C-alpha cells in the first residue's frame, strides 16, 4: 500500500547485484553493456515501476530538458494555439514545457522569469506583457547563457530571435481593404505606442492612409489597452466626434468586440454606416453578428518556428544570439463587418 519509497537505480542494482553504473548504462542502451544484462535490468526496472529521478539527472547533466514559456494570457486563442504547436515540436525533441502567464503585468512577468530560471529551464520562449518596457529581466535570461526567443510581442533592443507577423504590412492590407470598400474616413484604435508591434501597426496605418490621400486626423487615432471594455470606451469616443469615421480598424479583437457592441447599441449599421476590422482572428470574430473582419496571425506556424529556433540554439550552442527576425505574412480574413459588397447582392 504505502509504496511511498521511489525505486532508484540503486534498488535495481542491489537486486541484480551489479553496480548502479551498469544499471544506468543498461537503461541507456550503452553499447558496452551485454544484452543479457540490459534485459535483466529493464525487466526489474519495469517490475519495480522505476521512474528516473529527473532532478538528479538534470543536475548531473547540467540540463533540465525543460523550456519555459511566458505568455501574457492563456485564454486567448492566439496564445493557446502558439503554445500548443510549440509543445508538439518540443516534445518530439525530448523537451517539456512550463507555461507561465504574466497577465500583462510587468511584475508578474519578472516573477515568471525568476521562477523559470530557478527551475533551471534550458531556454525561454516569451511574448512580452504590454506593460513591459524595462528589459533588465530579459537581460538576466541572456546573461544566464540560455537561449531566449521572443514571439509576437518582441523588442529589437534585446538582440535575440523573434518570430512574428509583419504588423506594418498588415495595417496596409487592412486600410487598402477598407478603401476598396469605399471608406473615406478610417479611424484606428491602436495599442500602446511603446509596444513595438502596436507601434508598427500605427505606422502602417498612418502611411497607408497618406498613401491613399485620406485625412490623417489626430482625433481618428486613439491609443488603447485593447481590452473589451476599453474598446467600448474608445468607440464611444469616436461616435461622439462631430464627423464620425466610416470605418474603424482596431488593433485587437477583444477591443473590436467591445466596439461592435457599442455600435449595435447605437443602432449603427455595420458595415454600411461604419465598417469594422479587428486583429488576431480570435474564434469569436466569426461567431458574433455581424462577424468581424480580422487578421490571421498564423499562430500555429509561429509556435512551431519558435520551438524550432530554440532547438537550433541548443544544437549549436556556440552561435551567439543576435537579432534574428522571422516575419510571417499575415492574412486578412474578410467578414461581414467590413464587407459592404456582400450586401449588394
Partner DNA sequence: TATCTTTGCTTAATCGATTAAACAAATATA
Partner DNA sequence: TATATTTGTTTAATCGATTAAGCAAAGATA
User: CB-wise, 75 or 118, nearer to DNA?
Assistant: 118
User: CB-wise, 182 or 317, nearer to a copy of itself?
Assistant: 317
The full DSSP string for 111-179 is HHHHHHHHTT-SEEEE---TT----HHHHHHHHTT--EEEESS--GGG-SEEEEE-HHHHHHHHHHHHH
β partners of residue 324 = 161
| Binding flag, residue 114, DNA (CB under 7 A) | no
Q: How many residues bind DNA (CB under 7 A)?
A: 29
Greatest pairwise CA separation for the chain in angstroms: 89
- Cβ burial, residue 16 (10 Å; 0-12/13-18/19+): middle
Place of cell 469594422: 276
Q: Which residues contact 258 (CB under 8 A, 6 or more apart)?
A: 227, 228, 229, 230, 231, 232, 233, 235
Q: Residue 10's binding partner, choosing from a copy of itself, DNA, none, with beta-carbon cut-off 5 to 8 A by kind?
A: DNA
The full DSSP string for 272-320 is TTSEEE-SS--THHHHSSSPPBEEE--HHHHHHHHHHHHHHHHHSTTSP
With CA atoms as reference, report the closest residue to 164 among 149, 148, 152, 150: 152
| Binding flag, residue 65, DNA (CB under 7 A) | no
Q: Residue 18's binding partner, choosing from a copy of itself, DNA, none, with beta-carbon cut-off 5 to 8 A by kind?
A: DNA
| Binding flag, residue 37, DNA (CB under 7 A) | yes
Q: How far apart are CA 196 and CA 153, in angstroms?
A: 7
User: CB-wise, 202 or 336, nearer to a copy of itself?
Assistant: 336
Cβ atoms of 117 and 140 within 8 Å: the answer is yes
Exactly one of 2, 3, 4, 27 binds DNA (CB under 7 A); which one?
A: 27
Cβ atoms of 303 and 78 within 8 Å: the answer is no
Pick the piece of the chain touching DNA (CB under 7 A) from 60-68, 228-236, 246-254, 323-331: 60-68
| Binding flag, residue 34, DNA (CB under 7 A) | yes
Q: Which residues contact 59 (CB under 8 A, 6 or more apart)?
A: none
- In whole angstroms, the minimum distance from the beta carbon of 171 to DNA comes to 48
User: CB-wise, 30 or 157, nearer to DNA?
Assistant: 30
Exactly one of 54, 92, 211, 341 binds a copy of itself (CB under 8 A); which one?
A: 54
Q: Residue 214's binding partner, choosing from a copy of itself, DNA, none, with beta-carbon cut-off 5 to 8 A by kind?
A: none
β partners of residue 275 = 247
Pick the piece of the chain touching DNA (CB under 7 A) from 12-20, 90-98, 143-151, 227-235: 12-20
Q: Binding string, 71-90, against a copy of itself, x = CB under 8 A?
A: --xxxxx-xxx-xx--x---
Exactly one of 17, 49, 242, 316 binds DNA (CB under 7 A); which one?
A: 17
| Binding flag, residue 241, a copy of itself (CB under 8 A) | no
Exactly one of 2, 3, 4, 33 binds DNA (CB under 7 A); which one?
A: 33
Pick the piece of the chain touching a copy of itself (CB under 8 A) from 91-99, 130-138, 215-223, 326-334: 91-99
The full DSSP string for 2-61 is ---SPP-HHHHHHHHTS-HHHHHHHHTT-TTS-HHHHHHHHHHHHHTT----HHHHHHHH
| Binding flag, residue 44, DNA (CB under 7 A) | no
Exactly one of 46, 60, 242, 320 binds DNA (CB under 7 A); which one?
A: 60
Residues of this chain that interact with DNA (CB under 7 A) are 6, 8-10, 17-22, 24-25, 27-28, 30, 32-34, 36-37, 50, 52-53, 56-57, 59-62
Residues of this chain that interact with a copy of itself (CB under 8 A) are 2-4, 6, 49, 51-56, 58-59, 64, 66, 73-77, 79-81, 83-84, 87, 91, 96-101, 103, 111, 115, 117-120, 143-145, 228, 257, 261, 264, 283-284, 287-289
Amino acid at each position: 500500500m504505502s509504496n511511498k519509497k521511489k525505486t532508484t537505480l540503486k534498488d535495481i542494482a542491489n537486486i541484480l547485484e551489479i553496480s548502479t553504473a551498469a544499471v544506468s548504462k543498461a537503461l541507456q542502451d550503452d553499447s558496452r553493456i551485454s544484452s543479457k544484462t540490459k534485459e535483466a535490468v529493464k525487466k526489474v526496472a519495469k517490475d519495480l515501476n522505476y521512474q528516473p529521478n529527473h532532478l538528479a539527472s538534470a543536475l548531473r547533466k547540467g540540463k533540465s530538458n525543460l523550456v519555459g514559456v511566458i505568455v501574457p494570457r492563456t485564454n486567448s486563442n492566439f496564445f493557446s494555439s502558439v503554445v500548443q504547436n510549440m509543445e508538439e515540436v518540443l516534445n518530439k525533441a525530448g523537451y517539456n514545457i512550463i507555461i507561465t502567464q504574466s497577465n500583462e503585468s510587468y511584475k508578474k512577468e519578472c516573477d515568471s522569469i525568476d521562477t523559470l530560471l530557478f527551475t533551471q529551464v534550458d531556454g525561454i520562449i516569451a511574448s512580452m506583457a504590454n506593460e513591459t518596457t524595462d528589459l533588465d529581466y530579459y537581460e538576466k535570461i541572456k546573461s544566464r547563457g540560455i537561449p531566449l526567443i521572443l514571439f509576437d510581442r518582441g523588442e529589437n533592443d534585446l538582440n535575440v530571435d523573434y518570430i512574428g507577423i509583419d504588423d506594418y504590412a498588415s495595417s496596409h492590407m487592412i486600410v487598402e481593404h477598407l478603401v476598396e470598400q469605399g471608406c473615406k474616413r478610417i479611424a484606428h484604435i491602436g495599442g500602446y505606442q511603446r509596444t513595438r508591434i502596436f507601434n508598427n501597426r500605427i505606422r502602417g496605418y498612418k502611411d497607408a492612409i497618406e498613401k491613399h490621400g485620406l485625412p490623417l486626423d489626430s482625433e481618428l487615432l486613439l491609443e488603447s489597452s485593447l481590452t473589451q471594455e476599453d474598446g467600448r470606451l474608445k468607440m464611444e469616443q469616436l461616435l461622439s466626434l462631430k464627423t464620425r469615421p466610416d470605418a474603424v480598424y482596431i488593433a485587437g479583437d477583444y477591443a473590436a468586440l467591445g466596439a461592435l457592441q457599442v455600435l449595435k447599441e447605437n443602432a449603427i449599421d455595420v458595415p454600411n454606416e461604419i465598417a469594422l476590422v479587428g486583429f488576431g482572428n480570435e474564434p469569436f470574430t466569426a461567431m458574433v453578428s455581424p462577424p468581424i473582419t480580422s487578421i490571421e496571425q498564423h499562430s500555429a506556424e509561429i509556435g512551431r518556428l519558435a520551438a524550432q529556433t530554440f532547438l537550433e540554439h541548443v544544437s549549436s550552442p556556440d552561435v551567439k544570439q543576435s537579432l534574428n527576425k522571422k516575419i510571417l505574412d499575415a492574412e486578412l480574413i474578410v467578414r461581414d463587418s467590413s464587407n459592404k459588397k456582400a450586401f449588394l447582392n
